[in-house]
Amino acid sequence: MKIEKVCILGAGTLGSRVALQAALSGYQVTVYDIKQEALDSSLKVMKKILNQLEKFSEIKAEEGIQALSKILFTLDPKVAVEDADLINESVIEEIDIKEKVWKQFGELAPEKTIFTTNTSFLLPSMFADISRRPDKFCAFHFHDVFYSKVVDIMPHPTTDAEIIPILEDFGRALKQVPVLVKKENPGYIFNSMLMAFIGAAGKLLTGEVASIEDIDRSWMVNFHMPMGPFGILDSIGLDTAWHVTHKMPDRASQAFAQLLEKYIKAGKLGEKAGEGFYQYPNPTYREINFLG
């Protein structure tokens, strides 16, 4: 089977990015949301990204115009899913809402449609049955699309094995590196490792072994990276990190979740809030003398 038409459910940050890359890769795309404002904002996000891509000579202006002409924004679920070969769902990370969406689109979608969810921390098996097409249901999880170009393909126990290579090819067509998560795992591959090292950083901080800055310096200098774990936490959002950390039963994670909670209660959610472990827009770790 060949994928030609793609339906994106949820016009948020990630949905908009996936939609745009799909259009840039030549696919017909529909973007569905329940709010007109979300659709309007999605178009704005796309135009902003296209400007950036042009600025860094990754695309030409006419490619951007052509891509946008391939995208249909709609509030009508029937229009959205009409003739779709693949759905990629990026609605909010709430089980009730995702269930509702998959029940609705499971009824509306054509027989051929492959169902994929872009969930960050939930599992495809939670929604496979309600979609009424568990064999066609799989997680297909993007990270950032334009900077971190990896897509996780994570089937659940009754996903039809034949859709895996289709998703791998589709991922590559979207300029992503496809990786296979052979069994369901919350956080896929990368997030498991990310949360482990961030947890270790949290333990160093709550255990008063080292300062935020020295922990970040150690990571940045050893790995030649532009930020360390606390800079990364600021960019992820401390609230998002707390959602994952506070569920972990071990003592170190609990201590770190408590620390995150203090920051969150003080409104220090990270870069988006202007302050987290560092202050933005000019955090000290970006200063020239931070590393000496």
Residues engaged in binding a copy of itself (CB under 8 A): 143, 148-150, 152, 172, 176-183, 185, 188-190, 192-197, 199-201, 203-204, 207-211, 214-215, 217-219, 221-223, 225, 229, 291-292
| Nearest distance from C-beta of residue 21 to a copy of itself, angstroms | 14
Task: Give the residue with the Cβ less far from a copy of itself, 68 or 179.
Answer: 179
Task: Give the residue with the Cβ less far from a copy of itself, 77 or 228.
Answer: 228
List of residues 6+ apart from 38 with CB closer than 8 A? 11, 12
Task: Give the residue with the Cβ less far from a copy of itself, 89 or 152.
Answer: 152
Integer angstrom CA distances of residue 291 from 158, 172, 226, 275, 284? 50, 38, 11, 21, 10
Task: Give the residue with the Cβ less far from a copy of itself, 93 or 184.
Answer: 184
Task: Give the residue with the Cβ less far from a copy of itself, 49 or 204.
Answer: 204
| Nearest distance from C-beta of residue 52 to a copy of itself, angstroms | 17
- Sheet with 177-180, strands from edge to edge, namely 71-74, 28-32, 5-9, 86-89, 114-117, 137-142, 150-155, 177-180
Structure tokens at 26: 């030549």
| Nearest distance from C-beta of residue 149 to a copy of itself, angstroms | 6
267 phi and psi, to 5 degrees?
80, 5
CA separation for the pair 11, 9 (Å, rounded): 7
Task: Give the residue with the Cβ less far from a copy of itself, 39 or 153.
Answer: 153
Q: Which amino acid is at 165?
A: P
| Nearest distance from C-beta of residue 207 to a copy of itself, angstroms | 8
| Nearest distance from C-beta of residue 168 to a copy of itself, angstroms | 10
| Nearest distance from C-beta of residue 14 to a copy of itself, angstroms | 15
| Nearest distance from C-beta of residue 148 to a copy of itself, angstroms | 5
Task: Give the residue with the Cβ less far from a copy of itself, 64 or 229.
Answer: 229
Q: Which amino acid is at 273?
A: A
